[in-house]
Copies of this chain bind each other. A is one copy, B any other.
Amino acid sequence: MQNFVFHNPTKIIFGRATIPLVGQETAAWGDHALLVYGKESIKKHGIYNQVTASLENTGIKITEHGGVRSNPTLDHVRTGIEKVQKNGCTVLVAVGGGSVIDSAKAISAGSPVKHDVWKFFTGKKSIKKTLPLITVLTLAAAGSEMNSGMVITNEATHEKFGFGNKRLYPKTSILDPETTFTVPPDYTAYGAVDAVAHVLEFYMTASDPATPVQDRLMEGLIQNSMDACNRCLLVPDNYNARADLMWTATLALNGLTAAGLGRVGFPMHMIEHSLSALYDIPHGAGLSIVIPGWLTWFSSINAVRIALLGKKVFPLAEADNYSDEQMARRTVVKLRKWFNRIGSPTSLGEAGIPKIDIEKIADNAISLAKVWRLQGYTRKRIEEILHLCA
């Protein structure tokens, strides 16, 4: 196990009928909230009314900032920052999934400074201060509700960049699984894929794999994501299934899985970010395209690790007689089958991305590989992996 610091100060309020607590949680940090949200769906399902009623009941002034898109954009973040600065908002309330929360994080970092917020993403400036952020989660996927990371797309440059800073942890996140009852099957699946991907990235790239404590945690989280997603797709308003998926997705990227693993990378996300930046496909869909290809490529580097995952997550009676290479292949097959079963694409073609674009995608990915310092991810390697995703 490698040295680590773990310090996750986010307060989680989890369960039924918890949204009315958003007022008191917000009032502890400010009296004028920028309310960040996405589509009108939160109005249709009564979530918007619950949030605004609770905020108003505790005397909090609201400035609206709806319209966050999936793959949230820098332009919309900049507009939010202008609203905060112009109206004197003192706290942010994000109601939505990872895109909404990430937008609110970017606004919370960009509001106290005079320079453009994108400078944080390109590493030219570092975050020294943020506005406090309260979140109400409505999608089990990104884990942003309990971590210090954010991902934003710069449409002008076609860059989808992300990073983490300890000042970005939400103060409080409210997780009511019932808000996800109406999430359609495709986005339920994409969310579960995202959670699986977050665990897989660390499991596969850890510089120190002598970490049985973390391994068991990660293996369990992958099993939970798959099990819970299957149950959600079967019965969309199964409370326990939605709760299991929601809490799993949060735990999958709250820092616990990575603590002690040493250096970890996010190579699958790095490649996926180019897919969703260039083609605006859902993040989870992009991930289920990249994961089997990346794992197939990685099999020649570390079949043992993939085999271990397979033995734990897809136990097989005959597994004892398999070589690591056979077991690794089998693991990739099993994972791909599960993606297919839940309706998440597993090839570029399925998402309508032509093979001929591979060079262009690799070109895009290479810039994020540099920002994230993913050593060895040359254009050639990224192209090789993308061909395995075709």
Binding site for B on A (CB under 8 A): 1-18, 177, 210-213, 216-217, 219-221, 223-224, 227-228, 239-240, 243-244, 247-248, 251, 256, 259-260
Contacts and interface: CB of A to CB of B under 8 A. Distances in A.
Given A7-B11, A220-B220, A213 B2 contact: no
B15 A247 contact: no
A297 B264 CA distance: 46
29 contacts: A1-B15, A1-B177, A1-B239, A1-B244, A2-B15, A3-B14, A3-B17, A4-B14, A4-B15, A5-B11, A5-B14, A6-B14, A7-B11, A8-B8, A12-B259, A14-B259, A210-B240, A212-B224, A212-B227, A212-B228, A213-B221, A213-B224, A213-B251, A216-B220, A217-B217, A217-B220, A220-B220, A243-B260, A247-B259
A11 B6 contact: yes
Contacts of A5: 11-14
A11 B7 CA distance: 4
A11 B166 CA distance: 12
A240 B244 CA distance: 31
A375 to B, nearest CB: 23
A160 to B, nearest CB: 30
Contacts of A12: 4-7, 259
Nearest to A247: B213
Contacts of A219: 220
A311 B213 CA distance: 19
A176 to B, nearest CB: 9
Contact of A16 (B3, B210, B223, B259): B3
Nearest to A3: B15
Contacts of A2: 15
A239 B210 CA distance: 11
A285 to B, nearest CB: 25
Given A7-B12, A213-B228, A213-B248, 20 more contacts: A1-B239, A1-B240, A3-B14, A3-B18, A5-B11, A5-B12, A6-B12, A7-B10, A9-B9, A210-B240, A212-B228, A212-B244, A213-B221, A213-B224, A213-B251, A217-B217, A217-B220, A219-B220, A243-B260, A247-B260
Contacts of A8: 8
Given A11-B6, A213-B248, A1 B243 contact: yes
Contacts of A17: 3
A247 B14 contact: no
7 shortest A-B CB distances, which residue pairs? A3-B15, A216-B220, A7-B11, A1-B243, A6-B12, A9-B9, A213-B224
Query: Which of A1, A14, A213, A259: most chain B Cβ within 10 A?
Result: A213
Query: Which of A212, A223, A228, A259: most chain B Cβ within 10 A?
Result: A212
Contacts of A18: 3
Contacts of A240: 1, 210
Contacts of A217: 217, 220
Given A8-B8, A243-B1, A216 B212 contact: no
Nearest to A217: B220
A243 B16 CA distance: 38
Contacts of A247: 1, 213, 259-260
Contacts of A248: 213
Contact of A224 (B3, B11, B216, B251): B216
A14 B256 CA distance: 12
Nearest to A248: B213
Nearest to A315: B315
A145 to B, nearest CB: 12
A16 B177 CA distance: 40
A210 B238 CA distance: 12
